[in-house]
Amino acid sequence: MTDTPRTFGQQLGRRSWAEPWKIKMVEPLHMTDRAARERALADAGYNTFLLRSRDVYIDLLTDSGTNAMSDRQWAGMMVGDEAYAGSENFYHLEDAIHRYYGYEHLVPTHQGRGAENLISRTAITPGQFVPGNMYFTTTRLHQEMAGGTFVDMIVDEAHDPQDRSDFKGNIDLAKLDALVKREGAARIAYISLGATVNMAGGQPVSMANVKALRSWCDTHKVRLFLDATRAVENAFFIQEREAGYANKKVAEILKEFCSYTDGAWMSAKKDSLVNIGGWVAVNEFALFEELRNLVVVFEGLHTYGGLAGRDMEAMAIGIGESVQDDYIRSRIGQVRYLGRLLEEWGIPMMEPIGGHAIFLDARRFYPQLTQDQFPAQTLAAELYLDSGIRAMERGIVSAGRDARTGDHNRPKLELTRLTIPRRVYTQAHMDVVAESVKAIFDQRDKVTGLKLNYEPKYLRFFQARFEPI
């Protein structure tokens, strides 16, 4: 499992994880100097979300909507059927989702949170619990706004950055049993299963775990819904690590995984290699009717859901490309390439390396800072100052405040995410990133942290402002 880049490549019958594509169009990067970066960061309140992209050199803020599309996807954009109702591209998308994810009924949305809004409003009765495997920011907020209470049921290993278990995204069924014993199954809206788990470092869920969840849900008459945002990456880890799957295609594994769930929502801006798009899909017709009705209130008619016809076409083609074994191996191979450079230098990070990003462990990076001095936010700021590379906080700021007490939620994980956009940067860019992380690691003793001076009510990490202590 912990193979080096070389043996990882040899499993593919090639010397390296080299990309199965070449570059046809390029976009110049913006080089900046230290003085300009200091000004830009101060103007942005030390929050990388508030930087202008023209002030960024290598942008590892997110893998969301930052993908490079293929020539086939761009060609698909030209056959957009921009009819208000019944666009041909909707039917292509429906076919792709049925074929690769297996669900019966599709409702497109403009992006993932649009789908989360719909499923939360239709499947949660106020006062119910929504157990899941570590929270995701927008997912939990929509569940709360629909009157639900999210409860974290992830295995304990997920909270330990140095634990090297293979499937740190799994749900602990003993925790589910305890919840049912305490509250009764009728108080559970559904299981909210994310695969991979973004906030845990892109860690996967095993096939054994989703199968066990299926039978648990059948016993207790509870629905099981999947956050399928990175389910293709999850399928790759199953192929690599779980007995019986080494000779199956990622596409087959994905479909089997989804078959144990009752439906899914998706931010297609991640796995599906597009810049915008999402969906919710379910097998149950009555629930579909509710979703299809509600989408017209929030997103648009049920055959476009806030998207242009061309966007749906790009997504339909992107889904097919995303499940190709050689593509997904190179995608995760690039993430590992960066991770292993950092490992060689002893940089503390979330282990094992996950699917979409390297998560630096800011607690061990800056042991002199308390969590209330925002170590992960500080690390993202220092990286930007050093080189113009943009990362994102995934720690106390992202975790927000406890709805009842108003105090910070204090997650065990205090991480800075270097997120790799798909098909965008080269190996040489990864070298530059690793060198910059090393440079700030060497200067770590001088760092004194940040203090918060503005925060908005919802999803504060997007718009909060800080200043140096």
Ligand X SMILES: *Cc1c(COP(=O)(O)O)cnc(C)c1O
Number of chain residues interacting with ligand X (CB under 6 A): 15
Strands 415-419 and 149-152: unpaired
CA gap 460, 352 in Å, rounded: 28
Distance of CA 276 to the CA centre of its chain: 14
Question: How open is the CA angle 112-117-118, to the nearest 5 degrees?
Answer: 100
Q: Should residue 331 be labelled a site residue for ligand X when binding is judged by CB under 6 A?
A: no
Q: What is the dihedral of CA 415, 275, 249, 236, to 10 degrees?
A: 0
Q: Let me know if 236 is a catalytic residue.
A: no
84 burial via Cβ count (<10 Å: 0-12, 13-18, 19+): exposed
Chain residue whose CB lies nearest ligand X: 112
Contact pattern from residue 407 through residue 446 relative to ligand X, giving x for each residue in contact according to CB under 6 A and a dash for the rest: ----------------------------------------
- In the range 52-91, which residues lie near ligand X by CB under 6 A? 64
Q: Should residue 138 be labelled a site residue for ligand X when binding is judged by CB under 6 A?
A: yes
Nearer to ligand X, 185 or 459 (CB): 459
Could you say which of 55, 227, 242, 351 contacts ligand X (CB under 6 A)?
227
Nearer to ligand X, 113 or 292 (CB): 113
State the maximum Cα–Cα separation within the chain, in Å, rounded to a whole number: 62
Full DSSP string of 215-233: HHHHHHT-EEEEE-TTHHH
List the catalytic residue out of 190, 304, 461, 466. 461
Smallest distance, Å, CB 310 to ligand X? 18
List the catalytic residue out of 137, 139, 261, 303. 137
- In the range 258-317, which residues lie near ligand X by CB under 6 A? 267, 269-270, 278
Of 68, 2, 114, the C-alpha closest to 321 is 68
Structural contact between residues 288 and 295, judged by C-beta atoms closer than 8 angstroms: no
List the catalytic residue out of 310, 340, 394, 422. 394
Structural contact between residues 304 and 312, judged by C-beta atoms closer than 8 angstroms: yes
Q: Let me know if 255 is a catalytic residue.
A: no
DSSP class of 157:
G
Quick one: which segment of 111-119, 178-186, 304-312, 360-368 binds ligand X (CB under 6 A)? 111-119
Could you say which of 45, 76, 108, 112 contacts ligand X (CB under 6 A)?
112
Q: Which residues bind ligand X (CB under 6 A)?
A: 64, 111-113, 136, 138-139, 194, 198, 227, 229, 267, 269-270, 278
Active site residue ranges: 84, 136-137, 227, 270, 394, 461
